[in-house]
Amino acid sequence: MNIRQIWHYFGQGAIYYPQLAKQMGGVTAAILYQTLWQWTSQTGTVQCSLTQLTNATGLSEQEQVMARELLTARSLLSYNVVSNNPTVWSFELYFEPLEALLSQETTPATPATPSKQQPQSDPYFPPRRQPISVSVTPDYRFSGPWESQEQLEAFQNALLAYAKQQGHPNPSAWVFKIIDSISKGIKSPFWDEFIAGKPLGESQKVQQEWEIEPGVPYPAFESERIQYYVHKGEPLETAVAKARAELRDPVKAKDLWDGFLRKCDRLADEALEAKKMGVQQPYLPPSFQEQRTVTKESVMEKLSQVQSDTSLLEQESPPEETLSETDSKTNDDSTSEIPSLEHLQTLYDSPMTKSWVEQQIAQHPEWGYQIVDGKVVDQYPF
């Protein structure tokens, strides 16, 4: 086959402008911006999926992420996920910043003044190196929509608390980036939420179809993914972590949700058939049953109950100082206070009270009990 004919198998080709790549931070950003530019409407917006962009540009999802960050940093692009369809993204292009960047590129450079001829250097006394001068703003201050320094500090504290809650590796650097971008004129939803008195990040949450609230999937859906990894041999903690990581990915979670709905539909058909045949309670997988939520409060309540039971057992065993006094005062009525075999056997079976039962039987031979092969028996059964 002729090498010149092989290009026909690749379909329609695409080009990009190197001048755009210089101003937008790289080739990937230029390709993405140019493709969206060709698709955009008169309002400067376009809706498409990441798969469509990959087919049109050849950029992978990771390359698209880097390109979006470069364009957003230059105020050339804004984007978000369409709420009613998480596989579709909405992009908005801004042309005024692009005109400003291109005008900087096309501005003719100031002709350099001819440098004076340097005198011939002395081989024994080399010329002194010129100091490097850097222009520094003497008093740099953030200027933004805040009305006072106190309001700016309150906004900083709110951002810092939010960054720590979200687990940012460097919260202070993230706060500086947000405030610096606002001071440069970039709109931030965090400031709008702060002024409105709303929790930071509240307006940016999107509730997906498989969630009962933003970030919280349906319990049966989550339990189904956890059981999937448990059946593959993963420990429970690892299975929970993997399942929740999947459900935080909107693209992957959407595919898993479609499969889960098909499974639910099949189970519902089987249950209806079983009811027609007379089965009162058709079988459903454990993930469809009511799930008990484990919280810190429920765990602490159980631990406190265990502690209280232990303290009660300790109170049941009388102090050694009072044993002799009690025995001397109740010798005549000792038969009425002898514990039953069942009660002693129950306490002996517990590791926490086993040694106490052995001690009591040794101290009270009048009870007529002894321990034989791990059982509390009566020495005088007749």
Q: Name the token pair of 2.
A: 């002729």
Reported as a single tens digit per residue, the pLDDT across 71-88 is: 888 888 888 888 778 788
Reported as a single tens digit per residue, the pLDDT across 241-299 is: 999 899 888 889 999 999 988 988 888 888 888 888 888 877 777 667 666 677 777 77
Backbone angles phi, psi at 377, to 5 degrees: -125, 160
| 178 within a domain of the structure (yes/no) | yes
- In this prediction the pTM is 0.35
Residues whose CB falls within 8 Å of the CB of residue 224, separated by 6 or more in sequence, listed in order:
260, 263, 285, 287
Helix (H, G, I), strand (E, B) or coil at 377: strand
The pLDDT > 90 percentage for the chain reads 4
In whole angstroms, what is the distance from residue 56 CA to residue 62 CA?
A: 15
Report whether 31 contacts 16 (CB < 8 A): yes
Residues 89 and 19 in one domain: yes
Q: What is the pLDDT of residue 19?
A: 77
Please give the helix or strand (H or E) that residue 162 lies within, else none: helix 149-166
- The sheet carrying 45-49 orders its strands as 45-49, 88-93, 77-81
| 212 within a domain of the structure (yes/no) | no
Which domain covers residue 352, as residue numbers? 337-382
| 276 within a domain of the structure (yes/no) | yes
Where a domain ends, among 82, 105, 128? 105
Give the chain's domain count.
4
> DSSP letters along 312-329, please?
HHHHHS--HHHHHHHHHH
Helix (H, G, I), strand (E, B) or coil at 78: strand
Residues whose CB falls within 8 Å of the CB of residue 13, separated by 6 or more in sequence, listed in order:
7
Reported as a single tens digit per residue, the pLDDT across 16-34 is: 777 778 888 888 888 888 8
Residues 73 and 19 in one domain: yes
| 296 within a domain of the structure (yes/no) | no
| 372 within a domain of the structure (yes/no) | yes
Average pLDDT, the chain: 78
| 229 within a domain of the structure (yes/no) | yes
Reported as a single tens digit per residue, the pLDDT across 216-232 is: 888 888 888 888 898 88
